[in-house]
Amino acid sequence: MTIRIIGAGGLGREVHAALLAMGLEVDSFLVERGFASGPVQNLPVRELAFEDHDEIVNAEFVIAVGDNKARLRIAEQLGPTSFRTVIHPAATIGPQVKFGEGVMVLGTGSFTTDIKIGPHVLVNPGCNISHDCIIGAFASLGPGTSLAGRVTIEEGANLGVGVVVAPGCVIGAWSTVGAGAVVVRSVEPGTTVVGVPARPLVRRQPDHL
């Protein structure tokens, strides 16, 4: 079946590279209206027409958009369709590792055993996922992220570059963990944590207020 990548930026190009490493060919890059441009990596860039039933049912898609909420929105707009799961052959996959539809694993990294990864999760190169981890739909793991055993990453959570999460921690839905943070306690949904150890980000009020 024809494979089309939604998103023609840096992530789209990385997904294309991973698909080529898997021995798969891509038909084109698709972008939302107003963002079409010239060819990218010798492939055409076309506007995505959500209402074009024939185009949607006759293709597999990868939503290569870095923003987690945008991935969710596009998946909902596409509705029931086929999504390609992308697993770069450089990744090491152990037994009982389950990937949902539309997952993107972009390079080296390891998944040991008994791991569940939900739909449309982005796993950047160099991530190490230990036993009994659960990663919810539309979450993103930045390059070099390390999850110890029994970690749960809830839907839409965003982990920056080089984040380390201690055993048994829960990263709440749609929360953000800043680059280089070390999480030793669970993170509440919708919050942002930074630092070593990771703590909630406190925004200072201007002195004149």
In a domain, 207, yes or no: no
**Which positions ≥6 away from 164 have C-beta within 8 Å?**
145, 146, 148, 181, 182, 183
In a domain, 174, yes or no: yes
In a domain, 20, yes or no: yes
Torsions phi, psi for 11 (to 5 deg): -65, -40
Residue-level pLDDT at 209: 53
SS3 (DSSP) at 176: strand
Question: How far from chain centre, in Å, is Cα 144?
Answer: 13
In a domain, 127, yes or no: yes
74 and 119 share one domain: no
Picking from 34, 66, 83, the residue at the C-terminal end of a domain is: 83
CA–CA dist 169, 148 (Å, integer): 9
79 and 90 share one domain: no
Residue-level pLDDT at 75: 94
Percent of the chain at pLDDT exceeding 90? 80
168 and 100 share one domain: yes
Residue 34 confidence (pLDDT) above 80 = no
100 and 186 share one domain: yes
Residue-level pLDDT at 155: 98
For the chain, give the mean pLDDT.
Answer: 92
Residue-level pLDDT at 122: 98
Q: pLDDT tens across 42-71, in order?
A: 898 988 877 665 666 678 999 999 999 999
18 and 68 share one domain: yes
Q: Which one is predicted more confidently, 80 or 167?
A: 167
Q: How many domains does the chain have?
A: 2
Query: Average pLDDT of 175-201?
Result: 97
CATH code of residue 120: 2.160.10.10
CA distances from 157 to 44, 53, 73, 161 (A): 32, 31, 15, 13
Closest CA to 157 of 184, 183, 197, 190: 190
Query: Average pLDDT of 142-152?
Result: 98
Domain that holds residue 181: 86-194
DSSP character at residue 107: S
128 and 169 share one domain: yes
101 and 124 share one domain: yes
